Amino acid sequence: TEKNIDKGIEKVPCLIETRANKKNSFKLRKVINGTGVVIHTNLGRSPIDEEIMKNVFEISSNYSNLEFDLESGKRGSRYSHLEKILSDITGAEAAMVVNNNAAAVMLVLSTLAKEKEVIVSRGELIEIGGSFRVPEVMEQSGAILVDVGTTNKTHIWDYEKAINEETGVFLKVHTSNYRILGFTSSVSIEELYELKNKYNIPLVEDLGSGVLIDLSKYGLEYEPTVQDSIKKGVDIVTFSGDKLLGGPQAGIIVGKREYIDEMKKNPLTRAIRVDKFTISALEATLKLYLDEEGMKKKVPTINMLTLSQEELENKANILKEKLKCNINDKNIGIGIVDDYSEVGGGSLPLEKLPTKCICISLKDLSVSKFEKSLRNFKTPIITRVYKDKIYIDMRTIKESDFDTIVEGVLETLNEVKGVL
Ligand SMILES: *Cc1c(COP(=O)(O)O)cnc(C)c1O
């Protein structure tokens, strides 16, 4: 009818505006993570607190002493800013930081085992995703892989049998993203420590997620800390800056000074060096680790992982009320349900964190269209669909985003109903 056509025409300016805005918007944008996966690699892993970003802003919008020694007035090293704090926290003699942990592993092997053999257990030849495969990284570094043992069982004599004049490194990889259960055994750091001393071969450990505090205090599964590895005598430990540490993307290398000094001289270091953004964000994050209580509040990743049931429930109630106040529609049901969040980032794969979700059920409307439309909202809202319902996990959502979520749900509802 004529009335319907008028109504259609009325919508045109609004549609043009939406499209124009979309075209002009940034390609890399903020999204709201309703998935409950805390270290979500596709959504940028660890978010950084605004306090920390103030430091990054100050450093990046001004000149800094990035490679300038204020004491002597001469050229300094960009690695010096993080070395002391990393040593203080981990107990290691020396430290350096590169672009990410994959680069860290490559640099370590290229420095200590180029054209030499690296002995690693078959049970630890893992793929992390996004094509980081331990054997392939080793190949790139120029090291020669010698895999020992079997998928489920490796013994200390497997390592010992493989030793010869060409052996450069024992490598232990923390299989953070999967577990083998049942008839299994792997070789402990303690056993490898004895072997490495007997043959004078450096022991390197790729810890992956690299946690600096004992998470079991907060009810999570125990994850080996960097401090543990150093204490047990591992020569070099590598780990990520943006997984369980909760900092910026970085690969952190800590351990014996003689080895780290060699790495600093490796030409590869220049190709994988960190910039001032990373150094300032990482320094500010690490400073928080000097006080564990403060850190738990201010490092978002750790904060989200240690939220109590009460805090999650409070958040869910606030958002539910806001949604109910603003949306009065028979097509949509809004409730709170119990569910589980995940740590993500290939860390603690078996850990299921009890959580609260806002659950949206729809009547006569398509759930997949609703999910897609939320995902295409001006601030994309990423949700989980389970059994024909939409779940928004409170663990990974900030209260400051609640109003945006209400707006997004409203707009989506109109869009899916065909009103917009
Ligand atoms: C995640 C991970 C890596 C890769 O680290 P990035 O910082 O993503 O480069 C390497 N090794 C292990 C064991 C990991 O878990």
Pocket test for ligand 1, best of 99, 108, 132 (most atoms within 8 A of CB): 132
Question: 88 C-alpha vs ligand 1 centroid, how far in Å?
Answer: 23
pLDDT of res. 258? 98
Question: 102 C-alpha vs ligand 1 centroid, how far in Å?
Answer: 6
Question: 405 C-alpha vs ligand 1 centroid, how far in Å?
Answer: 32
CB 203 within 8 A of CB 234: yes
> Which of 256, 214, 233, 220 has its CA nearest to residue 349?
220
Say how far apart CA 50 and CA 56 lie, in whole Å: 10
Ligand 1 closest atom vs CA 240 = 7
CB 166 within 8 A of CB 118: no
How many C-beta atoms surround the C-beta of residue 159 within 10 A? 24
Say how far apart CA 182 and CA 180 lie, in whole Å: 7
pLDDT of res. 1? 62
Ligand 1 closest atom vs CA 173 = 13
Atom 3, ligand 1: residue with shortest CA distance: 208
Say how far apart CA 156 and CA 149 lie, in whole Å: 9
pLDDT of res. 137? 84
Instruction: Count CA atoms within 13 Å of residue 191 on its CB side.
Output: 12
How many C-beta atoms surround the C-beta of residue 50 within 10 A? 10
Question: 253 C-alpha vs ligand 1 centroid, how far in Å?
Answer: 12
pTM score: 0.93
Ligand 1 closest atom vs CA 103 = 9
DSSP 402: H
State the first-to-last Cα distance of the chain, in angstroms, to the nearest integer. Answer: 18
Burial track 56-71 (b if 16+ CB lie within 10 A, e otherwise) = beebeeeeeeeeeeee
Q: Show the 3-state SS of 76-122.
A: CCCCHHHHHHHHHHHCCCEEEEECCHHHHHHHHHHHHCCCCEEEEEH
Atom 12, ligand 1: residue with shortest CA distance: 208
Question: At residue 165, what is the residue type?
Answer: E
pLDDT in tens, 157-200: 999 999 999 999 999 999 876 777 778 888 899 999 999 999 99
Pocket of ligand 1 (CB under 6 A): 100-102, 128, 132, 173-174, 176, 206, 208-209, 240, 251, 346
Pairing state between β 353-362 and 389-393: antiparallel
Residue 199 CA: distances (Å) to CA of 33, 155, 416: 49, 17, 68
Instruction: Count CA atoms within 13 Å of residue 183 on its CB side.
Output: 1
Residue 293 CA: distances (Å) to CA of 109, 209, 223, 344: 36, 21, 19, 23
CB 187 within 8 A of CB 162: no
The answer to whether the Cα torsion of 291, 295, 296, 302 is positive or negative is: negative
Q: Which residue has the tokens 């990743």?
A: 301
Atom 6, ligand 1: residue with shortest CA distance: 101
Say how far apart CA 282 and CA 302 lie, in whole Å: 15
pLDDT of res. 334? 96
Ligand 1 closest atom vs CA 345 = 1
pLDDT of res. 418? 82
Q: Splitting the chain (420 residues) into consecutive groups of 10 residues, what average pLDDT does each group show? A: 70 80 87 97 95 96 97 95 97 98 96 96 83 82 94 93 97 81 86 96 94 91 93 97 96 98 96 97 97 92 96 98 94 96 82 94 94 96 96 98 97 85
Q: Which residue has the tokens 């090293």?
A: 77
CB 96 within 8 A of CB 273: no
pLDDT of res. 4? 67
CB 254 within 8 A of CB 86: yes
Question: 249 C-alpha vs ligand 1 centroid, how far in Å?
Answer: 11
Atom 5, ligand 1: residue with shortest CA distance: 101
